[in-house]
Each structure stands twice: as structure tokens, then as C-alpha cells.
Structure 1
């Protein structure tokens, strides 16, 4: 809302608004000739100088004197708006952005940032509302309130698909990737330790759920394929050797290349 002299610029919250793009310029309530003429002049200024869809209006009856002035000048009387309070129909939108239950929280977060949303509706295939996560709730996934055995275990577990992982990482699929769109309960194992430590840690979980994350470590690449992991993610724009790609295809191990370093990749996956 802006003022110029005794006029007020009001957005299309009026019930009688012509369209959602219309700007109504209104003087004070029970307007006199100055208020009406100022509204007409400022609306013309907005149209001619700024290219806005502006229209003069008033919130009270135009007096006999003002009508005489307008008729003499050959100008039509402003539109009468009895109520400028916003209603649900004037502030709601039909082009609603939604997310599906199987999208990664990162893709939902990016959608919020792109459109400056604080929350976004999650709907099923039939358009029914399932939930409305807020940006504060998504932030807790990055910054848990406390760290203990339970939260550490939860940080390893990800329910998603390989396709979602590729999208979250802006990654590339190397070789074959069976059942790319299947939603699964996966376990992340970041191979930042020695070969034996990584092996022991990985053996705690079913191989079909394992997602091994590592950089330029050919021995870990070989270990992940040997164990029949669900997926091997190679970070830092490094690539697997051709022999690893061949073995991975034979054992049904998907390989994804991430452009980020191991720490960033792990954070994006969580």
C-alpha cells in the first residue's frame, strides 16, 4: 500500500475486482472532489508511466458537486467499492505447487526456496492432501536436536529410490541400474575408514539395502561389488574402472557418480 497526496494504492483485494492484476486507487472514505480527482489522476499515472492495470475507485458515494466536476471534464465517475477487505477468493491461488510422498525432502526444500514458500502440500496420486511439511521441520533433518545411538542409526537409513538419489545429487548413472524407480529402505555406509573397518560396518546390514558412499578408492569399489551392494556412489566426479562396471552389471549393483565430495554427498542423501 502506497500513498500519494490523499490517495491510496490498494491491490485487488476488493470483492468487485475486475481481475487479480487490477490495482484500485482509492481516496479517503466519504470522498470529496479532491479525493476523487486524485484517485483518477494517480490511476492514470500508474497506467501511463508504469504500465500497471490501475483503476480509480471510491469507498463512498460521489457528491453532487463532484459529479458536476466530472461531467464538465468529461470523465466517468470512479467505481464504487463497498468492501476492500480481503476474502479467501481474492488471496487463494489455483496454480498450487505440490509434492508427492516419494519425493526426497531435498527436492521439496528446493521447491520451497525457488518459490519462497514456507510449507508445501504433499498429495497422493488422486490429489488428496497427506500432509503439509514446514521448512522448519525439514531443517531438523539436517540439524537434529540431539545426537545419540537412535539418531545416528536414523541418519544411516533412507527410504527412497535410486532415481531420487540421482536427482538429489545431480548425479549420473554409471552402467546399469536395475529397478531405478523402486522405493526401498536403504542403509548408507560411508567408506571413510580403512578397508577392514568398512567391511565390518557394511556386513552389519543386508547387502540388498546397502548404499556404499566413497571417493577415489578402487578397493572400496571392488568391496561394494563383491558384497552385492544395492548401490555404489562414487563421489568427487571420479569414475569406476571398466572392470568394476562389468562386475557390477553381472551382480546387479547400481553405480552412481556424484559431482560432490563425500561429506556433501552424504549430507544430501540424508
Structure 2
């Protein structure tokens, strides 16, 4: 039985500090309330967030690249396997006991070497018109002794390999002498002592007396001289013959060319191969080692990932594959977007400056104790999203929450806040394309699909010197990824203003939204620091008035 899958708590793509820290903080709250959750992120950690996590010694949330269902989501543990050297009798017993249609074949290190199916087993028995040539099967005398459940009268060299065929001693003594060859294993029923002795003298490797038949002393004495084995089996000759055929190793009938999947293969990618090969079960392997099996039936109804979205609620900003997952909660501080759910869910959205403000107060409302490091990451997110309380999105509630968190975390808000913002404000070796995608969020504004990125810096000169290359990168993003417009906010933390660069069409929408001449693909917007409150609303209103 598979363990219950965790619920992922995850922020938007191209995560900022609030997105990451909100996931960490809400995961802490949920775990304290007894829920199986994991904090996650949908992209690379930026410099500011890295500073925060290192300062409070908090591990980065796990990286999820998408939520598309994968083989690992439906694979079952595989406890029933056989080795290539196991007998067909053991294989058949396993298939009957566990009602299996196929069984993986592994070696001593659990590496997959083949698979054997009911069909393979059936083909073996359909061709069983005569005794099989065991000399080519690589079996030992011990295998035969074990399979006929007999009493060992003389053991001989039980580990020796079978070199001849299995013969049935039937008919006259002359006929038997013609049939039997040296190194053969002979099945004989209730025959005279002379017949049994003559079989021994033929130089055979072993004798199986069926139906609990008696073996005379002189035959036993002769057999001991020849170091052969003699077994007395309770089964009749026909049954013994069938059982001996079943001691053939699995390697003789298994399929060596096995269709396998890896745990991270997407279900959408393997459906075609399943349809073309039409097997019932497929081994799941990692580094050739067997991890489990996946059946065609499971592919129909895979268990969906359960996720809680923080700091966003728009499909375009969510992790890839969100449509394949089950959204069970949303905690956010943005406008209502277009995420749709199949059933009612818990949502909490407040007009505050940071999602972490909401999550901090949810701890206190539920009387959940908050350790220093959780308070530290949450206050950091508030300071980041409100740009140290300078953003117009900042509310008294944000400030009060931040002060309370700072006391728990043991930091000075101004000193720590400036150090954090400075850590994230340098462009370092960022390329124009990386700046164009920094803290990127996608919006559907009217009929236009837009992206708005933001980079907060202490000094805008170095970034604006790259203006030409930035605009080229922005235009390339629009053409390559199908956006109507790309906007980049270069926000000056000290001067509290933003250079707004834009590419794509319709450019007239920018002038209409901000009531300025939008020439040269850049506008300076003094006092503008918030994408949520000062960029998206004017654009939304301008779109309503726009006429193509």
C-alpha cells in the first residue's frame, strides 16, 4: 500500500521572497496542525531570498518544475519477483498465489533482466509434446530432486549439471536399452528388478522411481559405484515428467527485451508506447534497478497532486501543470484571477502588502507558536513586498505584523531591512534576458496577454545603461512565448520611483494607462513601486477604453 502523498504548498513561477517565505511559513502552520505538507517553489531562488534563508538558517523549499502526473505517481511497489535461475514451478506458484499476469525477473542486485508473463508460460506448455532437452537448460540434479518431492535413496553429486535428456523407461527391455543413453535421467515405474538394474548399468546420471516404487539392493549398490542419484517419488510417471519440465529456469522463457519506464517519465509521454506494445504491466526502473510496476489500468485514473497556492491565484502565474493538480486552498493578497476548481475550497485573500502578513496572523489566530526562524522569514517577506513600508500597498496591518515578528526574530527592522534589500538590489552578472524575466508575472488584461517583471535596485544607472539590450530581450520573449506585451519595472528603492520599459503591442495602451507620452519604449513613473497597485489597475482601466 502506498503512503499518503503530501500536499505541496507553493508560490508563483519566478518566485520572489514573499512567494518562497509564505510557502515556508504556511507549511510550518499546517504541520503544527497535523497535516502532511511540503513547502515548494516553482523556480530559482533570487539573491534577496537567498540572503533571507541563509540569515535565518532555513532550508530552501523543494523545487518543483511542474505538476504533470508522472510514472512515480501511479507506480506500485513490486514485492513479487523471480530470478532468472528460479524454476518455472516456482514462477507458476507465485502467479497462482498472487493472481499475477506477469512477473519481473531480476538478478542478485535487483537489476531488471527480463519479464515473464502468463502467455510465456502458456507457450511453454503448448509445446510440451515431449520431454524437453534439459541439457540445454542449465539445471542441476538438485533442481530435479526438489521438484519431484521424492525420498533420496542415493544423493550422488546433487550439484552436478544435467548433461543428458530425461527419458521414460517404457516398453520392453530391448526398447529401453535403445532409448536410454549415457548421462540421461530416467523415469521408471513399477518394473522388475532386472529392468531397473539394467537402466543403472546404461551409464545414466540418475534414476527416478515413480509411484513410490521399490529399488532392489543390487541396483542401489551398482548406482553407488557409479556416483549417480536414485529418488523414489510418490507421483506417477506422467506427473513426474510434467514436474521435471517445470524445473526449467525462468531464463528460458522470459522476455529479455523489456519495455520499462522511469519514475519521472510523464504519463502523457508513455501512453503511446503502452498502446503500441499493449502489455498489461511495465517495470519501473532507476539505474536499471527495479522500483515497482505500472499497469495500463492505473493510467486511466492517476491520483492528482494536491496543492495549496500562496501569493498568487492566476493560472498564468502558477506552476506548469496546475490544471492537472487539485487546488485545495489559496492564500493570497492579489486581485482575483482565473484559477478554477472543481469543488469549494478554503481561500483567504486580504488587501494587504504581503501574503506573509496573512500567514503570520493565521499562526496567532490558531495559537500556534512561531519559532524565531519562521518569524524571521515572514517578516523578511513583508519588508520585501512593501519595500521597507515604502510601497503604497503597505497597510498599518502589515507594519504592526512586521514589528511583532521582528521582536520574535530578534532583528532591527531598519538595519536588517536595508541589508536585505541591498543584497537583492545588485544586478551582478545578470544578463538582459535574466533581468527581463526577473520576478516575472503573467496577466490576462482584457484581450491582451501580458507579462510584468520587476527589479528593485539602489541605483538604476547600471540597469538603464542596458536599455537597448533589455528591449531586444523583451521583444524576443513576446515573439517566442506568444505575449502581446512585455513590461519591465526598474524600481529605485532610494528615490521611490520606477522606470517602466515596454515592448510589444499595443504601445498606445501604455500612454493611455499612465497619461504620459510613451515614446522611446520607456516611462519614468515617480512614486510608483507596486506592480499590483500601481501598474496592473491603470492598465486594466486603459484596456476597457482601448479601441483597436
TM-score, with length taken from structure 1: 0.60
Q: 2:99 aligns with which of 116, 120, 135?
A: 116
Cα deviation, residue 242, structure 1: 2.1
Cα deviation, residue 14, structure 1: 5.9
Note the 1:95-114 alignment, pairs <5 A: 96-114=79-97
Match of 1:127 in 2: 110
Distance 2:168 2:153 in 1: 19
Match of 2:488 in 1: none
**Which of structures 1 and 2 has the larger relative contact order (alpha carbons within 8 angstroms, sep 6+)?**
2
Deviations 1:192-244 (A, max 9, x none): 221111110114xxx12x01101121233212210121110110011312221
Q: 2:76 aligns with which of 92, 106, 123?
A: 92
Greater Rg over alpha carbons, structure:
2
Unmatched runs of 5 consecutive residues or more in structure 2:
8-66, 246-548
Cα deviation, residue 112, structure 1: 1.6
Note the 1:228-247 alignment, pairs <5 A: 228-247=203-222
Mapped pair 1:216 → 2:195 = no
Mapped pair 1:191 → 2:169 = yes
Match of 1:162 in 2: 141
RMSD across aligned positions (CA):
3.0
TM-score, with length taken from structure 2: 0.31
Cα deviation, residue 100, structure 1: 2.4
Cα deviation, residue 184, structure 1: 2.9
Cα deviation, residue 191, structure 1: 0.9
Unmatched runs of 5 consecutive residues or more in structure 1:
1-10, 18-82
Match of 1:79 in 2: none
Q: Is the 8 A contact 1:171 1:258 kept in 2?
A: yes
Cα deviation, residue 136, structure 1: 1.7
Mapped pair 1:138 → 2:101 = no
Distance 2:95 2:195 in 1: 37
Match of 2:201 in 1: 226
Distance 1:219 1:116 in 2: 47
Q: Is the 8 A contact 2:150 2:231 kept in 1?
A: yes
Mapped pair 1:16 → 2:21 = no
Cα deviation, residue 12, structure 1: 6.2
Q: Is the 8 A contact 2:2 2:76 kept in 1?
A: no
For these two proteins, the number of residue pairs brought into alignment is: 185
Q: Is the 8 A contact 1:195 1:219 kept in 2?
A: no
Cα deviation, residue 141, structure 1: 1.8
Cα deviation, residue 183, structure 1: 3.3
Distance 2:118 2:205 in 1: 31
Cα deviation, residue 116, structure 1: 1.8
Deviations 1:58-79 (A, max 9, x none): xxxxxxxxxxxxxxxxxxxxxx
Distance 2:107 2:2 in 1: 33
Distance 2:80 2:164 in 1: 28
Q: 1:202 aligns with which of 180, 187, 190?
A: 180
| SS of alignment partner, residue 173 of structure 1 | strand
| SS of alignment partner, residue 245 of structure 1 | helix
> Structure 1 14/102 Cα, relative in aligned 2: closer, same or farther at 3 Å?
closer
> Structure 1 123/182 Cα, relative in aligned 2: closer, same or farther at 3 Å?
farther
Cα deviation, residue 91, structure 1: 4.2
> Structure 1 249/135 Cα, relative in aligned 2: closer, same or farther at 3 Å?
same
Cα deviation, residue 86, structure 1: 9.1
